[in-house]
Amino acid sequence: MDEAAKKTTLRMIPYGIYVLTADGGDGDISAATVNWVTQTSFAPPLVAVALKADSGSYAIVKKTGTFALNMLGKGQQGPAFTFFKPAEVDGSTI
């Protein structure tokens, strides 16, 4: 397949931008921008997300089994770019 056609085709796949946050409970918190989320079950309601295995968010989610997924609307993509790199903690905020 032509590379330009492949790129155009792949860009047509709809997806959202989300900010995943996690709290390790010991002062260890993280946030990450994710774009792969899928529903895995209705009962119980479950979702799966993709995280880099070497990220701080992955380590916390693996340890606690919990996270919050913030769904961004149109015009809210700006905050997502903040979390493309490791977040810095300042007091109780990221």
Using one digit for the tens of pLDDT, what is the confidence trace for 41-60?
888 888 999 999 999 999 99
Task: Please determine, for residue 19, whether its predicted confidence score (pLDDT) is greater than 70.
Answer: yes
Q: Which residues contact 41 (CB under 8 A, 6 or more apart)?
A: none
Range with the poorest average pLDDT among 7-11, 14-18, 42-46, 89-93: 89-93
pLDDT of residue 92: 66
Residue 10 has pLDDT above 80, yes or no: no
**Cis peptide bond prior to 14, omega within 30° of 0:** no
Split at pLDDT 50, 70, 90, the class of 89 is low
The bridge status of strand 37-41 relative to strand 46-49 is: antiparallel
Domain 15-82 belongs to what architecture? Roll (2.30)
For the chain, the structural domain boundaries read: 15-82
pLDDT at position 61: 97
pLDDT band at 2 (very low <50, low <70, confident <90, very high): confident
